[in-house]
């Protein structure tokens, strides 16, 4: 049985996790184990820094603190997918404009509930990038929304088979990946239709129209 000072310390640690939004005992244990591991690595690195400073030599075998990025990214993906019907995530998925206020609320939901850690951890795992675009890259774009965006092409009777296939491939890509860049249209799988990619299938005017449509879609993932 835990008694006295030790029990009090454990209760305080538990309270910190609880107020941070973590109530699952297994998740708490995982977080505590990770923090203890990182603390130990930090202590080792500090000792080696002190030794190197005293001897006026480079640090011997510096400790590289590396998080389990694969596990962290899996947790982020699962959490976002689980909450894909959240109003702002739904708007991103269905290609509706979002406001700065909605994006701020989404950021609070992601990083203040404790399950995904801090925004700093997120940046370390994914780098600096627009949150709206990132969310859509996880949940994808609703195919009906993508079809609507490219309806002028889909309903154009003058489109040939390669052009139709190319546009459908863009829609499929958006449905899975949520966002796409113009550069991607000159890479696989689009070059499987024509080695030159976009410009091998469409003339410059048509290609420019497709790129502008893509830019518009990407812009809607950003807050206004």
How far is Cα 36 from Cα 34, in angstroms, rounded to an integer? 5
Q: What is the pLDDT of residues 4-58, one digit of tens each?
A: 665 666 666 666 655 555 556 666 566 666 566 566 666 776 777 777 777 777 6
Domain endpoint, select from 139, 154, 175: 139
Residue 102: count other Cβ atoms within 10 Å of its Cβ. 19
Domain endpoint, select from 139, 165, 184: 139
Total of domains in the chain: 3
- Does one domain contain both 41 and 105? no
Total number of residues shown for the chain: 224
Residue 64 resides in a domain: no
Phi, psi of 98 (to 5 degrees): -120, 155
Residue 62 resides in a domain: no
Residue 61 resides in a domain: no
pTM for this prediction: 0.68
- Does one domain contain both 175 and 128? no
Residue 224 resides in a domain: no
Residue for token pair 């990132």: 134
Domain that holds residue 9: 4-55
Query: Looking at residues 87-106, what average pLDDT do you find?
Result: 94
Find all residues with CB under 8 Å of 22, minimum gap 6, and list them.
28, 31, 114, 115
Domain endpoint, select from 120, 139, 158: 139
Q: What is the pLDDT of residues 155-214, one digit of tens each?
A: 999 999 999 999 999 999 999 999 999 999 999 999 999 999 999 999 999 999 999 999
């Amino acid at each position: 049985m835990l008694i006295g000072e030790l029990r009090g310390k454990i209760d305080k640690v538990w309270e910190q996790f609880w107020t941070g939004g973590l109530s699952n005992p297994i998740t708490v244990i995982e977080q505590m184990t990770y923090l203890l591991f990182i603390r130990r690595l930090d202590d080792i690195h500090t000792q080696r820094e002190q030794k190197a400073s005293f001897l006026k030599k480079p640090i011997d075998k510096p400790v590289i603190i590396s998080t389990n990025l694969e596990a962290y990214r899996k947790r982020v993906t699962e959490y976002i997918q689980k909450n894909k019907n959240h109003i702002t995530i739904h708007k991103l998925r269905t290609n509706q404009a979002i406001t700065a206020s909605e994006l701020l609320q989404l950021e609070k939901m992601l990083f203040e509930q404790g399950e995904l850690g801090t925004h700093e951890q997120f940046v370390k795992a994914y780098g600096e990038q627009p949150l709206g675009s990132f969310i859509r890259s996880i949940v994808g774009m609703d195919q009906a929304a993508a079809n609507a965006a490219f309806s002028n092409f889909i309903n154009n009777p003058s489109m040939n088979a390669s052009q139709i296939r190319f546009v459908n491939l863009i829609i499929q890509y958006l449905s899975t990946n949520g966002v796409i860049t113009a550069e991607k249209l000159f890479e696989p799988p689009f070059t499987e239709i024509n080695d030159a990619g976009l410009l091998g299938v469409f003339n410059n005017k048509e290609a420019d129209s497709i790129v502008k449509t893509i830019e518009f879609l990407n812009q809607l993932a950003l807050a206004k």
